[in-house]
Structure 1
Amino acid sequence: MIKAKIHDKEKERLALLKSYSILDTLAEKDYDNLTKLASEICQTPISLITLLDDKRQWFKSRHGLDIYETPIEHSFCAHAITGDEEIFTMNDARDDTRFNYNPLVTGDPNIVFYAGIPLKDSSGLPLGTLCVIDNKPRTLTDSQKESLNILSEQVINLLELRKNKLELERAHRKLKKFSKKLEKKVLQRTNQLEIKTIKLELINNDLASFNHICSHDLQEPLRKIQMFISQVSDSEFKNLSADGKHKLERIDLSASRMRNLIQDLLTYGSTENVENRLMNVSLRKLVDDVKVVLSEELKENNTVLKVLSDCEITVRPIQFKQLLFNLFTNAIKFTKKKDFPTIEVSAEIIEGVAYPNLNLSDEVKYARIFVADNGIGFEQKYATKVFEIFQRLHSDEEYQGTGIGLAIVKRIITTHNGEIRVKSSLGNGAIFEIFIPLAN
């Protein structure tokens, strides 16, 4: 047995691997679906997504193998990442002096055939491999090699999406910490108006970061994932088993969920930047406009949407219609099983001074708007949490969503210098109460 040589840029390679914070993480379905699909396509009992540090090869996903890692000196993948081949193939390891006394060949899992594609980032440094393994000699077809290469690119895209998400979370933590420190200083030196101005500047910085990541860093790899899924479907779908076809469809659904998340992030980031002026407009007119957009969903779900009372409100119409759209779609989504959604909208004019427990001006009149539904509701203790970005009260298996819809609603209310609160209980729907200042 001959141990693989160390990569020419091993120090940079290990630093890159560390930046993904991926080692020793829990299993994830998206990665497991790829290894299962690789085994189906190549007709091998074992497929692995392997990541190599300086002492071991660790398996992020393992199909057909019970162990989580092996020493790097026994690793076939260590040879694959230091070679020049696009795909490192060993038809019969027993005949090769590099592997014939390898414990993984002479003992469990008795590797005979191995094929691995290095997982390289944009700089060309390898993190590990996507490999397939068999305990008997075999040769991959050109179609199988091409499909394995497509799947390896999808692994890289998943890793890049993970890294971008971690960077976004770190940026948010730093921004939140900085915001708290700055707000404390400002509270000591300025009045309430100056505080709001500085908060808006922080929000704009936050939005700039969101828009950059969503518009490029996340959307570009997602487009590649969907393109690769389409290619595999066109060239290999008919050759897959029923289980393999199911896994490919699951990957496609995961990509669709990520696309919806990115679109919601872009909507969240754009609420501050919509350039339309405040206007006096009938609430009923805005509701009717949204009903046109949602006509198919309303009809499909037998939804009853009624405006019980109307008044003129002072809003940016584009933003406020987005707010109503999110509340209505939430009401439809979270309807109790076997029930038809019912949504009731009403409004009245009130004086701000009548609500001392809210941050309303004593000298301004407000439109007090109610949006009530008959959905599944939630415990009142979550009344604040539901407006926080990425916060969800249900799993994807129960209700699909991104956890951004009500955060968008909250942000739109903030841009209108208004307030929003919600009353709910389990099984009894929710009532959203919105306060929007009227123009003088």
Structure 2
Amino acid sequence: MIAAKINDREKERLALINSYSVLDTLPEKDYDNLTQLAAEICQTPISLITLLDEKRQWFKSHYGLEASETPIEDAFCVHAITGDDTIFITEDARRDERFQDNPLVTGDPNVVFYAGIPLKSTSGLAFGTLCVIDNKPRILTDSQKESLNILSEQVINLLELRKNKLELERAHRKLKKFSKKLEKKVFQRTNQLEIKTIKLELMINDLESFNHICSHDLQEPLRKIQMFISQVSDTEFNNLSEAGKHKLERIDLSAARMRNLIQDLMAYGSTEIIDNSLTNISLKKLVLDVKDVLSEELKEHKTVLRVPKDCEITVRPIQFKQLLFNLFTNAIKFTKKKDRPAIKVSGKVVSGADYPALKLSENTQYSRIEVSDNGIGFDQKYESKIFEIFQRLHNDEEYQGTGIGLAIVKRIVTTHNGQIKVESNLGEGAKFIIFIPLADQIESK
């Protein structure tokens, strides 16, 4: 057995692997779909997504093989990532002096054929492989090689999406912590005008970073994934087994879910935009505007939408219509299958002193807005959880979603210096109660 040469950029390669925070994570369907599809296309019993650290090759996904890792000194993939070939192939390892006495050849899983595509970063540094394995000699067609290369690029895109999401979460936590510290110092040393200025600068910087990540760093790899899915469908779909076709369709659905998540993330970030254009407007007028936008959905689900009691509210119309849009679409989504959705919106002017438990300003008048539905409802103990970003009470098989819609609602209410609460019981619908200060009593956040 001949060992592969150590990469001259080994430290950099190991740091790159660690940056994905993926080693020793649980299996994920998106990766497993890719390995099964690779095995189907190449007609091999085994397919792996491997990452190589200092002492082992670890399998993020292993199709047709029980083991989750093997010693690095036995790894065929080391030769794949240290070579110059676009695809590393040995058609019969028993006749290859590099592998003929390798324990993976002489023993289980009795590797004979191996083909591996190096997984490379944008800088060209290889850190793992997408590989297919057989226990008999095999020759790949040009079409199979091209398909394997397309699938390997999708693996890289999944890893990059994972890294970008983790970096976004870390940046958000860091900025939030920094903002709190800075806000405390500012309150001690400056007047109210300076406080607003600093908050605005922090928010704009946060938004610029957030929007760049969402609009480019997340959406560009996603567009490539969808392009590659289309290419595989065009060139290999008829050659796949029924199971392979099913997996390809599942990958396409996963990409669609990711696209919806990115769009919701951008909507979530957009609620931070500073806009002082507060307007006194009829609640019913905003409801009718949203009803017009949702006309097709309301008609399709035979939804009844009523505004029995109108009142004037002081809001940023664009943001508040987004709030109503999210509540209405949620009401439609979470209606029992045999029922027609029924949504009721009403408003009235109240004094903050009437609601001591909410700690509203006693000397301030508020618009009290109720949005109720006849949906499936939820246990009241989850009241605070439903407004947290990415928190969901149902899985995708029951009700699809990203867990961002109600977080957007809560953030819009917060930017209006308001409060929101919800009352619900399982099977009895939900009632969202929103308090927004009237007229010039709102201060921009």
Distance across 1 between alignment mates of 2:200 and 2:351: 26
Instruction: Write the mapping of 1:11-410 to structure 2, written as runs, cut at 5 A.
Output: 11-183=11-183, 185=185, 202-273=202-273, 277-410=277-410
What residue identity is the alignment partner of 2:345? V
Q: Which amino acid aligns with 1:376?
A: I
- 1:328 counterpart SS class: helix
Kindly state the Cα deviation for residue 185 of structure 1 after the two structures are TM-superposed: 4.8
* CA positional deviation for 1:349: 1.4
The question of whether the paired residues in 2 share the 8 Å contact of 1:47 and 1:133 is answered with: yes
Number of aligned pairs? 440
- Following superposition, the deviation at residue 154 of structure 1 comes to 0.2
Q: Which moved more, 1:9-18 or 1:275-284?
A: 275-284
Same amino acid, percent of matched pairs: 79
Q: Is the 8 A contact 1:303 1:340 kept in 2?
A: yes
Report the alpha carbon displacement of residue 213 of structure 1 after superposing the two structures with TM: 1.2
**How far is the alpha carbon of 1:93 from its aligned partner?**
1.0
Deviations 1:358-392 (A, max 9, x none): 35334432211100011111222221221121121
Quote how far apart the aligned CAs of 1:281 are.
2.0
CA RMSD of aligned residues (A): 2.0
Q: Is the 8 A contact 1:359 1:419 kept in 2?
A: no
Letter in 1 for 2:360: L
Segment drifting more, 290-299 vs 236-245: 290-299
TM-score normalised to structure 1 length: 0.95
Q: Which runs of 5+ in 1 are unaligned?
A: none
> Which SS does the other structure have where 1:308 is aligned?
strand
The answer to which of 308-317 and 76-85 deviates more is 308-317
Q: Counterpart of 1:37 in structure 2: which amino acid?
A: L
Secondary structure of 1:249's aligned partner: helix
Q: What TM-score, normalized to structure 2?
A: 0.94
Matches of 1:357 and 1:185, distance apart in 2: 30
CA distance in 2, matches of 1:396, 1:381: 22
Cα separation, 2, equivalents of 1:187 and 1:333: 44
State the alpha-carbon separation in 2 of the partners of residues 278 and 98 from structure 1. 73
Aligned partner of residue 305 in structure 1, secondary structure: strand
| Letter paired with 1:98 | R
For 2:385 and 2:189, how far apart are their aligned partners in 1? 31
Runs (5+) with no aligned partner, structure 2:
441-445
Q: Partner amino acid for 1:386?
A: I
Letter in 2 for 1:103: P
Residue 176 of structure 1 and its aligned partner are, at CA, apart by 3.3
Q: What SS does the corresponding residue of 1:123 show, helix, strand or coil?
A: coil
Residue 415 of structure 1, CA deviation: 2.0
Q: Equivalents in 1 of 2:122, 2:197: separation in Å? A: 40
- Listed one character per residue, the Cα deviations across residues 181-228 of structure 1 (whole Å, up to 9, x for unaligned) are 445556667788887776665544443332121111111111111111
Aligned CA distance change for structure 1 residues 377 and 201 (closer, same or farther; 3 Å): farther
Letter in 2 for 1:364: T
Instruction: Identify the range of structure 1 (257-266 vs 407-416) with the bigger mean alpha-carbon deviation.
Output: 407-416
Q: Is contact 2:200-2:274 (8 Å) kept?
A: no
Distance 1:337 1:186 in 2: 53
> Displaced runs of 4+ in structure 1, greater than 6 A?
187-197
Aligned equivalents of 2:357, 2:204: Cα separation in 1: 28
Task: Confirm or deny: 8 A CA contact 1:371 1:432 kept in the other structure.
Answer: yes
Whether the 8 Å contact between 2:118 and 2:130 is mirrored in structure 1 is yes
Q: Which amino acid in 1 is paired with 2:366?
A: Y
Inter-partner Cα distance in structure 2 for 1:200 and 1:428: 42
Q: What's the CA shift string for 1:246-294, capped at 9, x where partnerless?
A: 1011111111111111101111111232758222222112111111211
